């Protein structure tokens, strides 16, 4: 991928931190500790719980939503009251990974301390229904979805990945969708049909002159699509128009911003299947929101140390409880012709052993801006975050990435019901990764 080679060249001017993070000790910490939550006296479902559950749970816990059961009525919530209160108290639900006091993001699902206290007090006091006449008015819950779907397209056939020793299957599929005219993608929703094997997906718009070559490869080995494990060169990283990770729902770009798709392009879906995690076939659906024109076009900046995937410098030793890597570089000479730019969205990628992930802008005077601080990494809830207040990067600033892993016996993947033994690993689709992408936009 051209982008990666460019990043590799740039890394020579990047900064490598062996063991001490250059982040200030108070990075991401709150100015003042969050006050204890306060619950109303004798909370009831109708008066106190329903508004919280409708707004923070039912987008997923609804018929047709991604969660396994609905939480849209008193009866439904009552049935799951004990687990729900426990998950709310530990902040495992609603799923929201960024730690407090780093940045603010659009679509923040997290609950306030008062909401958590209310949920727990309601459960402790017997999970009472109360009187519907006391109901606090709230918007009826709707499943998380794009506001509008302009393109909906599905893999032409279901695909059953084949387990290979120690390797996942990465497979590319031409989707039956070409764009006759230049188009801008303003929202994406990638919906795998089999979450047990779908590990992640990248959606590409491949330009017209490359399609014949891909068509020749499609199905040539007797199975739908083609092997993408080692040959993704034709899918230039800059052609990525969207993707999916286990925590993703619908992804909306900031207002007025779109990802450019050239006339004649066709969609290609690169699916990464984890054959150790599940079985069966998958037939992923892609929904897009598009626009013929936008005010600003989105650009992506990759952050990772090229030496990590060149097979050096990212050793995660067996039994290490806190293997850590850092990387920082000034992205402006390569990505923005030396001009300042403003980070709008951030995404950080590790696999199952990850524990802490941090993304920041380091200024030459030693201060920093927090872009993302995840202190309790959960691979299944990885997603792209849109900053409520975009963060400016000036030439001379550095984008900083930090990843931690727990490679002890207690934190290993379970494959076919067996907990794996820790092994020393590095960068790999079925090992670990530490990578981030920040997105900004440019006026057209
Ligand atoms: C973004 C989607 C989403 C939101 C929002 C969400 N959930 Fe969930 N929830 C899920 C999914 C998916 C699962 C099943 C997978 C899992 O356990 O991670 C789940 C599982 C659960 C479980 C079962 C856990 C278990 O171990 O069996 C409970 C209880 C739960 N959610 C309660 C809630 C409550 C209460 C809220 C709101 C305060 C909420 N959820 C918000 C998606 C969501």
Q: End-to-end distance of the chain based on CA atoms, in angstroms? A: 25
Q: What is the pLDDT of residues 3-26, one digit of tens each?
A: 444 444 444 444 444 567 888 888
Q: What is the pLDDT of residues 149-162, one digit of tens each?
A: 999 999 999 999 98
Pocket test for ligand 1, best of 48, 81, 82, 95 (most atoms within 8 A of CB): 95
Please tell me the distance between residue 63's alpha carbon and the centre of ligand 1 in angstroms: 13
Pocket test for ligand 1, best of 53, 57, 67 (most atoms within 8 A of CB): 67
* 169-196: average pLDDT: 92
Facing residues of 419 across strands? 414
Other Cβ atoms closer than 10 A to 230: 8
| Cα–Cα distance, 352 to 431 (Å, whole number) | 9
Q: Which residues line ligand 1 (CB under 6 A)?
A: 56-57, 59-61, 66-68, 80, 83-84, 87-88, 93-95, 109, 249, 380
Q: What is the pLDDT of residues 314-350, one digit of tens each?
A: 999 999 999 999 999 999 998 888 999 999 999 998 9
* 237-258: average pLDDT: 82
Q: Give the residue whose CA is nearest to atom 36 of ligand 1.
A: 57
Structure tokens at 328: 């920082």
| Cα–Cα distance, 229 to 149 (Å, whole number) | 31
pLDDT at 2 over 50: no
Q: What is the pLDDT of residues 382-438, one digit of tens each?
A: 888 999 999 999 999 999 999 999 999 999 987 777 888 999 999 987 789 999 989
CB 171 within 8 A of CB 271: yes
Structure tokens at 259: 């990802």
CB 79 within 8 A of CB 166: no
Pocket test for ligand 1, best of 93, 122, 376, 379 (most atoms within 8 A of CB): 93
312-331: burial string, b at 16+ Cβ within 10 Å, e else: ebbebeeebeebbbbbbbbb
pLDDT at 254 over 80: yes
Enumerate domains of the chain plus CATH numbers: 1-22+295-444 (2.60.120.230), 45-134 (no CATH), 145-294 (2.60.120.310)
| Helix-helix angle 81-89:113-124, to 10 degrees | 150
pTM: 0.84
- Backbone dihedral region for residue 130 (phi beyond 0: left; psi -120 to 50: alpha; all else: beta): left
Sign of CA dihedral 53, 54, 59, 61: positive
What pLDDT does 283 receive? 97
Facing residues of 41 across strands? none
Please tell me the distance between residue 144's alpha carbon and the centre of ligand 1 in angstroms: 14
pLDDT band at residue 121 under the 50/70/90 scheme? very high
Mean pLDDT of the residues in the chain? 88
Maximum alpha-carbon separation in the chain: 68
| Cα–Cα distance, 94 to 67 (Å, whole number) | 11
Q: What is the pLDDT of residues 93-117, one digit of tens each?
A: 998 999 988 988 988 889 999 999 9
Please tell me the distance between residue 93's alpha carbon and the centre of ligand 1 in angstroms: 5
Q: What is the pLDDT of residues 52-80, one digit of tens each?
A: 999 999 988 988 777 889 999 999 999 99
| Cα–Cα distance, 292 to 184 (Å, whole number) | 6
Please tell me the distance between residue 67's alpha carbon and the centre of ligand 1 in angstroms: 6
């Amino acid at each position: 991928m051209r982008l990666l080679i460019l990043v590799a060249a740039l890394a020579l001017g990047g900064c490598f931190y062996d063991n001490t993070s250059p982040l200030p000790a108070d990075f991401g910490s709150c100015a003042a500790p969050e006050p204890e939550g306060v619950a109303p006296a004798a909370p009831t479902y109708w008066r106190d719980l329903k508004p919280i559950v409708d707004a923070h749970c039912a987008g997923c816990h609804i018929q047709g939503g991604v969660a396994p059961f609905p939480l849209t009525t008193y009866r439904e919530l009552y049935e799951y009251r004990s687990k729900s209160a426990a998950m709310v108290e530990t902040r495992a639900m609603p799923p929201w990974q960024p730690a407090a006091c780093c940045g603010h993001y659009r679509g923040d699902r997290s609950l306030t301390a008062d909401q958590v206290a209310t949920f727990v007090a309601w459960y402790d006091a017997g999970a009472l229904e109360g009187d519907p006449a006391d109901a606090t008015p709230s918007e009826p819950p709707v499943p998380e979805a794009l506001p509008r779907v302009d393109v909906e397209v599905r893999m032409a056939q279901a695909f059953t990945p084949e387990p290979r020793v120690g390797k996942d299957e990465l497979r590319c599929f031409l989707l039956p969708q070409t764009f006759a005219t230049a188009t801008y993608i303003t929202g994406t929703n990638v919906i795998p049909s089999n979450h047990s094997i779908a590990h992640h997906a990248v959606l590409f718009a491949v330009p017209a002159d490359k399609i014949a070559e891909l068509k020749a490869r499609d199905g040539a080995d007797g199975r739908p699509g083609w092997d993408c494990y080692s040959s993704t060169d034709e899918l230039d990283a800059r052609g990525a128009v969207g993707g999916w990770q286990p925590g993703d729902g619908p992804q909306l770009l900031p207002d007025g911003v779109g990802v450019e798709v050239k006339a004649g392009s066709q969609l290609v879906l690169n699916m990464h299947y984890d054959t150790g995690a599940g079985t069966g076939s998958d037939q992923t659906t892609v929904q897009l929101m598009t626009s013929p024109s936008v005010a600003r076009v989105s650009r992506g900046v990759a952050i990772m140390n090229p030496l990590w995937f060149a097979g050096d410098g990212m050793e995660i030793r067996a039994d290490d409880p806190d293997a850590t890597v850092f990387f920082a570089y000034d992205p402006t000479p390569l990505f923005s012709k030396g001009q300042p730019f403003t980070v709008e969205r951030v995404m950080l990628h590790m696999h199952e052993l990850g524990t802490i992930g941090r993304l920041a802008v380091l200024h030459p005077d030693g201060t920093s801006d927090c872009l993302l601080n995840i202190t309790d990494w959960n691979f299944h809830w990885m997603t792209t975050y849109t900053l409520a207040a975009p963060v400016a990067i000036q030439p001379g600033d550095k984008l900083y990435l930090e990843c931690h892993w727990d490679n002890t016996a207690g934190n290993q993947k379970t494959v076919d019901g067996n907990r794996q033994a820790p092994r020393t690993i590095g960068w790999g689709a079925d090992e670990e990764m530490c990578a981030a992408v920040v997105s900004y936009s440019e006026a057209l």
